Amino acid sequence: MTIKKILIPVDFSDFSNQALDYALKLANQFQSDIILLHAIVLFQDDVGEEQRLQEYEDWINRREKSIQTNMDSSKAKAATHGLEVETVVSRGVNAADVILEYLDDHPIDLVVMGTHGRTGLKHLLLGSVAEKVVRLSPAPVMTIHRSIREFKVEKILVPIDFSPYSQDAADTAIELAVLFKSSLHLIHVIEQDIHPSFYAAGIESIFQIDKGLKDRVIENLKEFLAAQLPPDLKTEYIVKEGKAHKEIVEYSKESGVDLIVIATHGLSGLDYILLGSTTEKVVRWANCPVLTVKRRD
């Protein structure tokens, strides 16, 4: 995995600073160049008669100077890691659109950003900055939960649905696992519901109906990734049933996973663009970093 340039959107909140710290340690591993991007969101408040457009422009200019001071501080922090750092301050009516426009115009290998910003829990609302960037970014995006306090990549989890997209995600996860000497956890979630009539017989799991199902899925996982997995890589196979995003997130928390690598498309293909996809829910609810991987050309 080549990561020459990392884009880090910053808003100078505590959550953003945590994401910055994580990104700098990651950049150290790859000796990546850093681009710090701050979006000035215009017209968040109505411009009334008492605040003419020229006055508003003056206020924005003053704010840009204040922002540049914060950017210089963040740049100095990055420079202590011996990394090349560029700072960008850009205006727009929506922070996500500013980030996406920059990505369209510049070759970026990875975006690292917090799942929370100055809006705090509003990130849970539809259309948050992080979720929109994950959905539409042409580059892989790593989202950092606000609870992250240290850089550690000892356990990597990859959801596999046997689509080419999840195979690409597995490729990326394997490269990272080799680099960081991590263990690799491969999870497949069976979302098929059992018929209500089975409950009357005390059967609550599809694994009770088909006792060999879990073993067959594990064999399929091994076969699916046989050409990609190095023989000396520590690998675990997990088969669950239920809602995919819930099982993925629950397993990551129970097992102390340090990073989830997940495809932005699965078997549903372009249905991913509809809000409520497995990927978006994992990004929203996981408390470890989540790397979303695009399909390779």
118 and 164 in a single domain? The answer is no
* 88-124 pLDDT tens trace: 999 888 899 999 999 999 999 999 998 865 544 444 4
In-domain check, residue 150 = no
Least confident of 37-41, 78-82, 85-89, 212-216: 78-82
Task: Indicate if 193 and 118 belong to the same structural domain.
Answer: no
Residue 25, SS3 per DSSP: helix
Q: What is the mean pLDDT of residues 73-98?
A: 89
- Give domain status of residue 115, yes or no: yes
My answer on whether 197 and 74 are in the same domain is no
Q: Given 76, 109, 144, which residue is the final one in a domain?
A: 144
Which whole number is the average pLDDT over 50-74? Answer: 77
For the ranges 41-55, 89-103, 135-149, the lowest mean pLDDT is seen at 41-55
Range of the domain at 78: 5-144
Tell me, yes or no, whether 210 lies in a domain.
yes
pLDDT in tens, 257-277: 999 999 987 555 444 444 348
Query: Which pLDDT score is estimated for 274?
Result: 42
Crossing angle of helices 95-105 and 129-136, in 10° steps, is 30
Average pLDDT score over residue span 215-244: 94
Domain boundary pick from 100, 124, 144? 144
* Residue 265 lies inside a defined structural domain of this protein: yes
Rg (CA), the chain: 21
Q: How far apart are CA 217 and CA 238, in angstroms?
A: 9
Residues 170 and 121 both lie in one domain: no
Residues 139 and 24 in one domain: yes
For residue 110, the domain's CATH number is 3.40.50.620
pLDDT of residue 104: 96
Is the pLDDT assigned to residue 67 strictly greater than 80? yes
The answer to whether residue 149 sits within a structural domain is no
Q: How many domains does the chain have?
A: 2
Q: Please, which pLDDT band fits residue 49 given cuts at 50, 70 and 90?
A: low
Would the CA dihedral through 233, 234, 237, 238 be positive or negative?
A: negative
Question: Given this model, what pLDDT does residue 196 score?
Answer: 63
Indicate if the pLDDT at residue 127 is higher than 50. Answer: no
Question: Regarding predicted confidence, which is higher, 94 or 35?
Answer: 35
> Count of CB atoms within 10 A of residue 70's CB?
16
Please state the rounded mean pLDDT for residues 240-251: 94
- Please give the pLDDT value at position 126: 37
Mention every residue, 6+ apart, whose C-beta is less than 8 A from residue 159.
166, 169, 187, 188, 189, 244, 248, 260, 262, 263, 278, 282
Q: Does 273 map to a domain?
A: yes
Q: CA distances (Å), 41 to each of 11, 63, 98, 129, 251, in order?
A: 11, 11, 9, 12, 37
- CA 43 to each of CA 102, 127, 141: distance values in angstroms, whole numbers, following the listed order: 20, 18, 28
Residues 24 and 125 in one domain: yes
Residues recorded for the chain:
297
Residues 80 and 186 grouped into a single domain = no
pLDDT (0 to 100) of residue 87: 93
Same domain, 198 and 226: yes
Pair 28, 58 in one domain: yes
Residues 161 and 256 both lie in one domain: yes
Give pLDDT, residue 295. Answer: 75
- The pLDDT score that the predictor gives to residue 61 is 76
Q: Please tell me what DSSP assigns to residue 128.
A: -
Same domain flag for 204 and 274: yes
Shared-domain flag, residues 174 and 133 = no
pTM for the predicted model, two decimal places: 0.86
For residue 12, being part of any structural domain is answered with yes
The answer to whether residue 184 is domain-embedded is yes
Domain closes at, from 75, 109, 144: 144
pLDDT at residue 103 in the model = 97
**pLDDT at residue 218 is higher than 90:** yes
Q: Measure the CA–CA gap between 22 and 68, rounded to whole angstroms.
A: 22
